[in-house]
Amino acid sequence: MKRWIQSTADHFLYWLGRRSMQSRLVTAYIVIFFIPSIIVSNYLFNQIHQNYIADALKKSQFTIELESIQIQKQIEAMELAAQISISHQDLMDYLTLDREPETSELIDWNMGKFADFGLIQLGTPQIVHWRIFTNNPLTHEIWPTVFRENRISAEPWYPEVNERDGGQLWVLQQTDRDIMKRYTAEPAENQPKISLFQEINSGGAHIGIIGIEMLLKDFAPRVYTGIADDESQMALLDAHGAIYMDRGQSLLGGSGIMRQKVRELLREQPADAALQTQFELEGAEFLLISAPIERIDAHLLYVVSLEGVLDNILRSKQQIMAANILLIVLLSTITFLLNSIILKNLRRLTEAMKKMRKGDFHIDVPRIKGGGEVGELAHHFSKLIQTINELIAQGVRKQAMTKEAELRTLHSQIDSHFLYNTLENIKMMAEIEGQRTISDALTSLGGMMRYNFKWSGEYVKLRDEIRHIENYLEVMNIRFDEPVALITEISDGDLELEVLKMSLQPIVENAVKHAWTGEPPGKRELHIGAVCEEDRMQITVTDNGCGIEAAILARLNAELAAAGLRERLTGTFETGVRSRGIGLLNVQERVRLFFGAAYGLKVISEPGRYTRVVMTIPRMLLTGGMGEHANTLDRG
């Protein structure tokens, strides 16, 4: 069989491989649409199936809960009747007589004191029998209330009642045999009933048993509805596995196999556990819901047939499957005709792709009139070629810039130790002469030189970049009567994040050169702050200078928006746009070159008050981590 399947599959694939593209597309269309339609149809009908079962289960649970509430009320009524009887002092006096009562006393007991017990049955008319069984030889039977205990001594439940030492015993029975007809030839009444028996003690001695009985048709009215129903049936199952039900209903009453199946399912469950299950019997599906009634040691059962509705669902499923097949045939025919038009455009795209594979990235992608998948494919193919060309140009520019940076680093390393040593000697001379200002300026200048000369990579910690700016301002403040005060508002965690080396210094330099031009002497402040939002970091450089006029600001932001998005003729930072913000433009191009067009600079200003430069870059860590809030960037 396996070999035959393999051989058939091979022949089919060989046949399909020799067909035209159009035929193969139609075949693929049939497979792609027919199989999912079958799967979706099956899924939907399975959902309908499950939803129906869920609804049936909810309705069944509601029905069985209502019946359980009714049963609990009857249980409480019977227990109340038993407790009232046991606590009745006149009854206890009669059961504990130590002398033979006179006839007048018996009449008084029957007509007077025992008359109160008739009110119990009037208040709860469902109680069919209220009886007291006594073992006191001095008492007399008072029908239909007081009887000799030897009338029930042969009952199977009698020993268990005495063993419970005053505890209650609930007994389910298939017939309501009247003990007053026990020795007659009359047949037993075929009415199932439930009985509550409890031993009566006085001073620790057994003096009798009380029995409260109710017919099951009154105790559990939905179990004995008397209405024929082939779709569902309710029943009671006692601790011995006996099922009490309306035998006029066919679901349980007419099927011994069904009753046996129900017993097996309940036998597998704990005695005090509820059960909700779906089972199959003789090809038909059923639901079984069971609720334990612990106080009487029994289960309330509800069996529901699913056969009728499931047959209707199956017929609907078959009809929709047939409609799907007809629809697939119609759509396949239409597709066969449309594919002849679509394939023409696909062949044109194929030729363009072949040229691109040979290295020609300046090809003209054929224009596809209209829309659709082929038109979208042509559009994205054109965008792909454009992106490839841009990446090639960007790679060339980045490589040129890297080479230039390496060359600058190489030049700066020439005699760097000589310069450091010379600065150190001049610093020592200034300290000897007591020129602390000159000594501090030389220290800052030396730090700047080391930062510039040590170019081991494109990225540094923000902490190092801020320190470089501090050195720069300390050197520049020598020139000013009013020094520039640097105020940083950056958390320790953000200081560990990475930035492009020398990306903030041009911004600060631009502020120092232009912020306070023509301004009267006053306090000069430069604020640097950093804020992280998810995977981005925004660094702001704000001065309290003269600001920028609105027209110049708009032109500057326009130049910044265009910077880095056009090709540069060279890789140097000194060429390109020539304007007041040349340093900002260079930083903008560098940020976008390394991080992309989504990042860069923006200038905000209010004339006469301040100018703020906002630099947005990815949030990156140089080494280590920052706890649960640390993010890293794979720079490739």
Task: Give the tens place of pLDDT for each residue, 66-106.
Answer: 999 999 999 999 998 888 888 878 778 788 887 887 777 77
Is 216 buried (19+), middle (13-18) or exposed (0-12) by CB count in 10 A? buried
Helix (H) or strand (E) holding 170, with range, is strand 168-173
Choice among 21-25, 350-354, 449-453 with the minimum mean pLDDT: 21-25
Strand pairing category for 243-244 and 484-489? unpaired
Compute the average pLDDT of residues 26-38: 75
Task: Give the tens place of pLDDT for each residue, 260-291.
Answer: 888 888 888 787 788 888 888 887 888 899 99
Inter-residue contact 63 to 291 (CB < 8 Å) = no
- pLDDT score of 632 more than 50: no
Range among 198-202, 416-420, 474-478 rated most confident = 198-202
Amino acid, single-letter form, for residue 467: R
DSSP state of 623: S
The reported pLDDT for the residue numbered 573 is 36
The reported pLDDT for the residue numbered 348 is 75
How far is 612 from 603, CA to CA, in rounded Å?
6
Inter-residue contact 275 to 261 (CB < 8 Å) = no
Q: 484-563+582-621: same fold as 55-307? A: no
Confidence of residue 629 (pLDDT cuts 50, 70, 90): very low
DSSP percent split of the chain into helix, strand, coil, nearest 5 = 50, 20, 30
The per-residue b/e assignment along 531-551, b for 16 or more CB within 10 angstroms, e otherwise, is: ebeeeebebbbbbbbbbbeee
- pLDDT score of 615 more than 90: yes
The reported pLDDT for the residue numbered 628 is 36
The reported pLDDT for the residue numbered 593 is 85
The reported pLDDT for the residue numbered 164 is 87
142 alpha-carbon distance from chain centroid: 70
Confidence of residue 601 (pLDDT cuts 50, 70, 90): very high
For residue 124, give the 3-state DSSP assignment.
coil
Averaged pLDDT of the chain: 79
Nearest to 530 by CA among 491, 503, 499: 491
**CB count, 10 Å around CB of 388?**
12
The reported pLDDT for the residue numbered 504 is 92
Could you say which architecture CATH assigns to the domain 55-307?
Answer: 2-Layer Sandwich (3.30)
Task: Give the tens place of pLDDT for each residue, 423-441.
Answer: 777 777 777 777 777 777 7
346/475: higher pLDDT? 475
Task: Give the tens place of pLDDT for each residue, 152-162.
Answer: 888 889 999 98
Amino acid, single-letter form, for residue 25: L
The domain made up of 484-563+582-621 has a fold known as: Heat Shock Protein 90 (3.30.565)
Which residue has 């029930």 as its token pair? 152
- pLDDT score of 574 more than 50: no
H-assigned helices in 203-249:
216-219
The per-residue b/e assignment along 158-176, b for 16 or more CB within 10 angstroms, e otherwise, is: beebeeeeeebbbbbbeeb
- pLDDT score of 224 more than 80: yes
- pLDDT score of 59 more than 50: yes
Give whole-number Cα distances, 450 to 418, 420, 423, in Å: 12, 8, 12
How far is 599 from 160, CA to CA, in rounded Å?
88
Task: Give the tens place of pLDDT for each residue, 346-398.
Answer: 777 777 788 777 777 777 766 666 666 777 777 777 888 888 877 777 777 77
Domain positions in the chain:
55-307, 361-412, 484-563+582-621
The reported pLDDT for the residue numbered 564 is 63
The reported pLDDT for the residue numbered 186 is 42
For residue 629, give the 3-state DSSP assignment.
coil
Angle between helices 307-357 and 372-412 (to 10 degrees): 50
* Residue % of the chain over a pLDDT of 90: 19
- pLDDT score of 626 more than 60: no
How far is 139 from 114, CA to CA, in rounded Å?
14
Tell me the two tokens of residue 251. Answer: 């679901």
Task: Give the tens place of pLDDT for each residue, 506-532.
Answer: 999 999 888 887 666 678 899 999 999
The reported pLDDT for the residue numbered 520 is 66
Compute the average pLDDT of residues 295-322: 82
